[in-house]
Amino acid sequence: MEQKYIDEARQGEAYYAPQADVAGQINKKKFYIESYGCQMNFSDSEIVASILQSEGYAATPRFEEAQLVLLNTCSIREKAEQTVRNRLQSFRKIKEQQPSMLIGVLGCMAERLKAKFLEEEKLVDIVVGPDAYRSLPSLVAEAEGGQKAVNVLLSREETYADISPVRLQSNGISAFVSIMRGCNNMCTFCVVPFTRGRERSRDAGSIVSECQALFDAGYREVTLLGQNVDSYYYSPIDGAPITFAKLLSSVADLSPLLRVRFSTSHPKDITDEVLHTMAAYPNICNYIHLPVQSGNTRILQHMNRTYTREWYLHKVSRIREIIPGCGLSTDIITGFCSETEAEHQDTLSLMEAVKFDMAYMFAYSERPGTLAARRFTDDVPEDVKKRRLNEIIDLQNQHSRQSYAQDVGTVCQVLIEGDSKRSATDWCGRNSQNKMVVFPKTHADEAPGTYVDVKILHATSATLIGERNG
Ligand code: SF4
C-alpha cells in the first residue's frame, strides 16, 4: 500500500485512444483496459498498451467492441479484490454473446492467485503477473487457440526500461514515470513483495530520456514512481552509482519548466541528501508522501516497518528544517493485530504532532500469504477497527481543513492542468505542495501547461480557491 492510491473516482478507469487515430483503428483488433489500485498499476497499464499497440492492436473505450478485455487488478485489501470479481461478472453477458472475446487479468491479484484465478473465475482466459507483460502477445495467441494462458513469473531484472509507455487518460501535462519495481522491505501486512517481487532499479539514462521526451511532447510535470523511491540505486557499467538524490537532480536539470514529483518515500531510507536536493531545485516540488502506518513503536515493530515513532518524528523535523512549508501526506493502518487502545491513541497523538495535509487511512485487512497472516491473529474486532478508523479520519479532516485554511491570503505558483471539474470557466492545477487550486479564467496567456501565480481567497479541506495574482 506504499504506492499512493489513485482516487476512488479513477478506480476502474477505462483507457481510450486519442481521437486523432480513430480512423486508423477501423480494421485493427481492439483491446480494452481498466486499471485498479495504485499509481504503479496505472503506469503498468501504459506499458501494456504500448506492448499491444506494437502488436497491431488498437485501444477502444467500449469493452463491447474489444476482442481483448483486460483488468489490471489490485490486491491490497479484500475490498479491492471483491471489486474486480464483481466487475468480471458484469462481462458475463457480453462474453456469452461474443464467445471469441478474451478476458485477461493483470497485476497484483493475478500474481497472488496465479492459475487459481482460472478455477475461481471461469470467465477469465489469461492471467499475467506484473513482470510478465512482454509475454502478453503470445499468451493471447495461446488463448485464441482455445487454451487458458498463464504467466506469473516474477523477475529480478525486468523494469520495462526499453518500452515507451502509451499515456492513458492523460491530461497531456503530468505523467507517471516508473523508476523501479518490486520491494525488498517485508512489512508484515503487505502483499507487494509477493506480488511484485524483489526490488530492482531501472536504468537511469532511460528514465531521464523518458522525462526529456515527455517535456518535448509538452508535459510539464513528471512523478517518479517506486514502492520505495529512496532505495533507488542504479550501477551503470561505467560511471558512479546513481542514488535517488542524483536521479532527482538529473531529471530536474532537464528544464526549470519541468516540475518533478515522486512517490513513495520510506521513513527509514529518506536521506538529508534527497531533502537538500529538493531544496536546491525550485522545480522539484515541496511535497513528500511519507507513510507512517502507526504512531506506536511496538506496532511498527510488529509491522516490521524498521523504524520507531521517534525516528519518524525526527525525519519530519528534518524535512521541515530543510524545506520549510513542505507538504506532507501519509498512509495509516488502524486496528493492526494486537493493537491496544493506548497504541491507537499513540497514532492519534503522532498525527497531532505532525498535522499531515492529507492521509490515506485504512482499517487493517488481512491479506492471504503475508507474514502477518502467517504469524499473527487478526484479533482487533471489526467494530473497534471501524471506530478507531473514524477517529483517525475525523482528526485528519480537522488537520486538512487547518492546513488549507492557513493558505488563505497567500500567493502560490500553480501549474494549470485543465478545466476545473466543477466549471469550464475555471482552471484547476496544483501548487508545489500538491494542493489542488481552482481559479477563474481571466487572462489570454493562460492554458494547460502554463505556470501562474494565484492568490488564495478561500479553502475547503481538499481545495484552494483563488484568483490570478497580477
Ligand atoms: S513491503 Fe512495506 S515498503 Fe514495501 S510496498 Fe509493502 S508497505 Fe511498502
Q: Which of 74, 184, 187, when mutated, tests ligand 1's pocket best, judged by the most ligand atoms within 8 Å of its CB?
A: 187
> How many alpha carbons fall within 13 Å on the CB side of residue 453?
6
- Ligand 1 pocket, residue 227 CB under 6 Å: yes
Q: Is 192 in the pocket of ligand 1 (CB under 6 A)?
A: yes
The pLDDT, as a whole number, for residue 27 is 60
| CA torsion angle 370 373 379 383 (round to 10) | 60
pTM (global) more than 0.85: yes
Q: Is 335 in the pocket of ligand 1 (CB under 6 A)?
A: no
CA of 177 to the centre of ligand 1 (A): 19
- Give the per-residue SS3 of the chain: CCCCECCHHHCCEECCCCHHHCHHHCCCCEEEEEECCEHHHHHHHHHHHHHHHCCCCEECCCHHHCCEEEEEECCCCHHHHHHHHHHHHCCHHHHHHCCCCEEEEEHHHHHHHCCHHHHHCCCCCEEECCCCHHHHHHHHHHHHCCCCEEECCCCCCCCCCCCCCCCCCCCCCEEEEECEECCCCCCCCCCHHHHHCCCEECCHHHHHHHHHHHHHCCCCEEEEECCCHHHCEECCCCCCCEEHHHHHHHHHCCCCCCEEEEECCCCCCCCHHHHHHHHHCCCECCEEECCCECCCHHHHHHCCCCCCHHHHHHHHHHHHHHCCCCEEEEEEEECCCCCCHHHHHHHHHHHHHHCCCEEEEEECCCCCCCHHHHHCCCCCCHHHHHHHHHHHHHHHHHHHHHHHHCCCCCEEEEEEEEECCCCCCEEEEECCCCCEEEEECCCCCCCCCCEEEEEEEEECCCEEEEEECC
In ligand 1, the atom with minimum distance to the C-alpha of 227 is 5
**Atom number in ligand 1 closest to CA 266:** 3
- Grid cell at residue 80: 479491492
CA of 448 to the centre of ligand 1 (A): 35
pLDDT tens for residues 60-93? 999 999 999 999 999 988 899 999 999 999 999 9
Q: Distance between alpha carbon 61 and the CA centroid of its chain, in Å?
A: 22
Residue nearest to atom 6 of ligand 1 (CA): 190
Q: What is the pLDDT of residues 420-460, one digit of tens each?
A: 998 999 999 999 999 999 999 999 999 999 999 999 999 99
Which residue from 1, 2, 195 has its CB within 8 A of the most atoms of ligand 1, so it is best to mutate?
Answer: 2
- Domains defined along the chain, listed by start: 8-151 (3.40.50.12160), 411-468 (2.40.50.140)
CA dist., res. 438 & res. 134, Å (int) = 41
Per-residue pLDDT at 470: 78
Predicted pLDDT at 232? 98
The rounded mean pLDDT for the chain is 94
The predicted pLDDT at position 77 comes to 87
Q: Which atom of ligand 1 has the smallest separation from the CA of 264?
A: 8
Q: Measured on CA atoms in the order 16, 17, 20, 25, is the torsion positive or negative?
A: negative
pLDDT at 2 over 60: no
Closest residue CA from atom 3 of ligand 1 = 185
Residue 19: the pLDDT is 43
Which residues, in sequence order, are CB contacts of 407 under 8 Å at separation 6+?
435, 456, 459, 464
Is the CB of 334 inside a 6 Å radius of any atom of ligand 1? no
Q: Which atom of ligand 1 is nearest to the CA of 293?
A: 7
Tell me how far the alpha carbon of residue 36 lies from the centroid of ligand 1, in angstroms. Answer: 18
Residue with cell 487493517: 364
Ligand 1 atom nearest 304 alpha carbon: 2
Percent of the chain at pLDDT exceeding 70: 94
Per-residue pLDDT tens over the stretch 103-128:
999 999 999 999 999 999 999 999 99
* Residue of 356, 367, 362, 359 whose CA lies nearest to 386: 362
Distance 465 CA to ligand 1 centre (A): 35
**What average pLDDT does range 40-66 have in this prediction?**
95
| Mean pLDDT, residues 299-309 | 98
- Ligand 1 atom 2 nearest Cα: 187
C-alpha 196/C-alpha 467 separation (Å) is: 44
- Retrieve residue 335's grid coordinates: 486496528
Tell whether ligand 1 has an atom less than 6 A from the beta carbon of residue 183.
Answer: yes
Residue of minimum CA distance from atom 8 in ligand 1: 2
CB of residue 231 inside a 6 A radius of ligand 1: no
> Is the CB of residue 132 less than 8 Å from the CB of residue 151?
yes
Say if ligand 1 is within 6 A of residue 49 CB.
no
Q: For residue 17, what pLDDT band results from cuts at 50, 70 and 90?
A: very low
CA distance 57 to 69: 12
Residues 15, 61: contact at Cβ < 8 Å?
A: yes
Confidence of residue 11 (pLDDT cuts 50, 70, 90): low
* Ligand 1 neighbour 264 (Cβ under 6 A): no
1 lines ligand 1 (CB under 6 A): yes
